[in-house]
Amino acid sequence: MAKTENTLPDNLPRHVAIIMDGNGRWALSRGMPRLAGHRAGTENLRSIIRACVEFGISYLTIYAFSTENWGRPPEEVNGLMRILEDVIDHELDELDAEGVQIRHIGRLDNIEPRLQDKVRYAIERTRANDRLVLLVAFNYGGRDEIVQAIKRMIEDGVQPQDVTPELVSRYLYTAGVPDPDLIIRTSGELRISNFLIWQAAYAEWYVTPTYWPDFDKEEFRQALLVYARRDRRFGTVSPQVNQPS
Ligand code: FPP
């Protein structure tokens, strides 16, 4: 049967992770301040979260603020903190009603205590939801995550012979979450930017020139179709290649 525009593949990724890049350039190209781009990106995020719920994606990780983003001008850093607070204040009821479980990955210790409390409240309130697990990477860095994991392993007295990839995974912020199957990066940049550097080992990538505020549900669906056609070999060979001649 011919695929219609609304078709979804059977083999959807279980875990999609997104580097929501290009908000600044989106705003600049419209003569607007960078924060207007982040606000537009937040609007777009809402529709992509909804699409994940509708499509049956189990895990969505979004890169909202990196450990390197502290180096941006103070008004942009404060603006991004405010956006997180606004999302919790104004979107939590709807996210909760839609069955979204919110998790945070990254460090909470050096953000404002009031915002820390709100993040903890959002996590607690949505803990029992199971339609979509939304991992918010905020004040997150992949190297920092690994450093924290190593410190905790040492504190716990883990012995060298017991260190395995599975054990390391259990010490990361993403403990218990399957590795991302598909990582989407908008705005065309070809780099990992310290995002899920351990977990991305065998992820498939979809990179698009589209700026994040313009990455709509239809392009998301397109990314899922592209993913579904990929031959994931995890370092082995595909079954056809493995056939005896
Ligand atoms: C990268 O674009 C984007 C960010 C650093 C922030 C992403 C944040 C949002 C979309 C808001 C959602 C946030 C929360 C907390 C739910 P850029 O600014 O680097 O764009 P540029 O490369 O064009 O300058």
**What would the pLDDT profile of 24-61 be if each residue is shown by its tens digit?**
999 999 999 999 999 999 999 999 999 999 999 999 99
**Residue bearing the CA closest to ligand 1, atom 10:** 41
Q: Span 79-108, mean pLDDT? A: 98
Instruction: Say if residue 243's pLDDT is above 80.
Output: no
Closest Cα to atom 6 of ligand 1:
64
Residue 23 has pLDDT above 80, yes or no: yes
Q: Give, using CA atoms, the residue closest to atom 2 of ligand 1.
A: 21
Angle at 180 between CA 186 and CA 40, to 5 degrees: 30
Distance between Cα 125 and ligand 1 center (Å): 26
Instruction: Provide the pLDDT for residue 204.
Output: 98
pLDDT of residue 35: 97
Tell how far the Cα of 99 is from the centroid of ligand 1, in angstroms. 25
DSSP letters, 160-207, are GGG--HHHHHHHSTTTTSPPPSEEEEETT----TTSSTTGGGG-EEEE
What's the 140 CA to ligand 1 centre distance in angstroms?
A: 13
Determine the average pLDDT of the residues in 139-164. Answer: 98
Which residues pair with residue 182 across a beta bridge? 16, 204
Residue span of the structural domain in which 91 resides: 15-141+180-229
From the CA of 87, give the closest atom in ligand 1: 16
How far apart are the CA of 166 and the centre of ligand 1, in A?
A: 31
Q: Which atom of ligand 1 is nearest to the CA of 66?
A: 5
pLDDT at 4 over 80: no
Ligand 1 lined by 42 (C-beta under 6 Å): yes
Domain count, the chain: 1
**137, pLDDT greater than 60:** yes
Mean pLDDT computed over 146-168: 98
Quote the percentage of the chain above a pLDDT of 70.
Answer: 95
Query: Is residue 2 pLDDT above 50, yes or no?
Result: no
Q: Is the pLDDT of residue 242 over 70?
A: no
DSSP run (H or E) holding 101: strand 100-105
Residues recognised as catalytic: 21, 69
pLDDT of 238 reads 74
Two tokens, residue 195: 């995002």
Q: How many other C-beta atoms lie within 10 A of the C-beta of residue 134? A: 21
Is there a domain that residue 243 lies in?
no
Of 1-5, 29-33, 97-101, the poorest mean pLDDT is in 1-5
Q: Is 84 in the pocket of ligand 1 (CB under 6 A)?
A: yes
Q: What confidence score (pLDDT) does residue 241 get?
A: 55
CATH number (domain holding residue 87): 3.40.1180.10
Q: Is the pTM of this model over 0.75?
A: yes
pLDDT value for 244: 54
Pocket-testing residue among 19, 23, 126, 134, ligand 1, by greatest number of atoms within 8 A of Cβ = 23
- pLDDT-based confidence at 231, cuts 50/70/90? confident
| 24 pocket-lining for ligand 1 (C-beta < 6 Å) | yes
